Structure 1
């Protein structure tokens, strides 16, 4: 395998993805919404969560493991909070609809929180806070995922990579967006290295015997990712705590499967015989800044915060200090002009999808 990449027109990829979802009876509007979530990742440099994931969604839809026409149901509600049953729908559709519900509650009550069960992989966590930011709200999203991370001091997979994302509206400066996994790295980045035939940095993974490894396949075949911070010296217990917070807020709170019982995303992954809930879980939050202080004043102060952080003295010979979200905005400017760079292995997957579904390849 090699790290060679082929560039594609962003709109071509969006159109192809939408047609692929529509093939399975997903309504056109929902198919476009799902394609938008994946396109966000590819267009903003998050290669692990874009069309590289399309094959798995297609496999699950073909196997009847995802409901193409879910009927979302509010199973419990109290003023600004609610729990939604996603009816095993595509997470790329269930997620945006539930985030919109949180936004509506924030407009009504000043804040809104929605927990979701009976759903599946929802793409990049950062997509959802931006829905709120576009309406001048603070946004948050998190999700639990199938087991892949060892708890602090453990050597077996018990938690998912369990990402958390928050976005904040600004004035003249770019949106502040924090989007990170609670593990040392997202599982998708290990997959990217594996496809390219490359090793990963020491400290990311354990092998099947609990020993540190740089070989992606050793982690993927019985090993585990480490929590954010890796070891005791790197404060790995803090990453474990973040992962635990996400697991409890998304799954224990909503009634989804938590910890090692979360439904695997990959169709060929072994299924847990025990289920402690329904599907996997998400959590969405939105806050109306006007409930705290004047919106314009908040944006002005956040702009000043950004400018102050940017002017921090940086390490000699190193890059300048960035603001969370800067890498995504920089990638977007480049990729919308030069195209989306896809690994050859991903391109081959898209070609196979096109052949099987009978739709034109991008």
Structure 2
């Protein structure tokens, strides 16, 4: 499938104009665009500008408040709960992450749960904010139910990503950013746009059979937890996803499990829900609360070097450190530009026409 290359600044300006058209302030438009562009720069194409039309659909259904009153509704010295007032998760989550870091600066660690938010982009964007402050960053979110727990075909959980970001010294940070499903829904969307099949083990049909059809969710199928099936550890993926769901929602007062609102606006009106919006959870820990930060980062470098030196099964495929492919992609794309597939470009052109803004 053909693709088009766009320079970062052009794509960033277009994305900001979309958020301006929604009614976001200049500050919020710049921040929201930064979250999406960072995703594209790091090669996570499923969560970058390809998501813009989804945000617009939600906004048109009054599911997103473009000017939220984000506020702290419960707080102790090192913890807080934030109400996002239905705002873009791209705005609400950075507010919460900043608060967690401020608390960590004072008390060693900070922990913030969030309710009444929306899709927040890649978890890595938020967790990585702590790295420059010599902190370990944590970010996670629940999501609309597309995943069937082990032994069922019923969609009860989201892909529920989690991220841990660890600073290093001379190397890029180690960033463990992953869905707790075998594959994120965005991977299916990419396969759909490219007309490709997906590996078996990502999804099951509505009767629980394995399938390689990228459109299986549209016919009642479901994503599978990390591990795919019980023999390969899907109960562990289910446990990780459950952990994210509990920390992000039951702790904060957000919706959980099958009641998490969908990213698309096909439920109108939404059914009676037990909580408010989507939930996130953010954490920051000062490294010098455990040992001097310079010592930690020196040993992180040694850790990275030892794992990179591991004897490979295939000499052409060395061990990949978590976050390494994304860091490499960012170096390349900042210079060479960001590739967008033809369907995404057409989608953005239609979006520009709809909103009356300049096309790419």
- Interval of TM-score (by shorter of Structure 1 and Structure 2): over 0.9
1:159 aligns with 2:157: yes
Distance 2:214 2:143 in 1: 19
Aligned counterpart, 1:51 = 49
Distance 1:315 1:220, change over 3 A: farther
1:227 aligns with 2:225: yes
Aligned counterpart, 2:321 = 323
Aligned counterpart, 2:23 = 25
1:59 CA drift (Å): 1.6
SS of corresponding position for 1:23: helix
1:4 CA drift (Å): 2.1
Residue-by-residue CA offset, 1:148-173 (whole Å, 9 max, x unaligned): 00001111211000000010111111
1:259 aligns with 2:261: no
Residue-by-residue CA offset, 1:8-47 (whole Å, 9 max, x unaligned): 1111111101011011221001100000000011000001
Aligned counterpart, 2:133 = 135
Distance 1:346 1:224 in 2: 24
Distance 1:102 1:44 in 2: 24
1:264 touches 1:270 (CA, 8 Å); kept in 2?
A: no
1:61 CA drift (Å): 1.6
1:87 aligns with 2:85: yes
Q: What RMSD over aligned residues (CA atoms) do the two structures have, in Å?
A: 1.1
Map of 1:134-283 to 2, 5 A cutoff? 134-268=132-266, 273-283=271-281
Aligned counterpart, 1:354 = 352
1:274 CA drift (Å): 3.2
Flag structure 2 segments of 5+ consecutive residues without an equivalent: none
1:272 CA drift (Å): 5.5
User: Given the alignment, which residue of 31, 34, 43 partners 2:32?
Assistant: 34
Distance 2:28 2:205 in 1: 40
SS of corresponding position for 1:332: helix
Deviates more, 1:333-342 or 1:264-273: 264-273
1:317 CA drift (Å): 4.6
TM-score, length of structure 1 as denominator length: 0.97
1:333 CA drift (Å): 1.5
SS of corresponding position for 1:353: helix
Distance 1:214 1:270 in 2: 31
| Structure 1 stretches of 4+ moved >6 Å | none
SS of corresponding position for 1:74: strand
Flag structure 1 segments of 5+ consecutive residues without an equivalent: none
TM-score, length of structure 2 as denominator length: 0.98
Distance 1:129 1:70, change over 3 A: same
Size of the aligned set, in residue pairs, is 360
Deviates more, 1:79-88 or 1:54-63: 54-63
1:318 CA drift (Å): 4.6
Aligned counterpart, 1:99 = 97
Aligned counterpart, 1:109 = 107
Distance 1:270 1:237, change over 3 A: farther
1:149 touches 1:158 (CA, 8 Å); kept in 2?
A: yes
Aligned counterpart, 1:309 = 307
Distance 1:160 1:271 in 2: 20
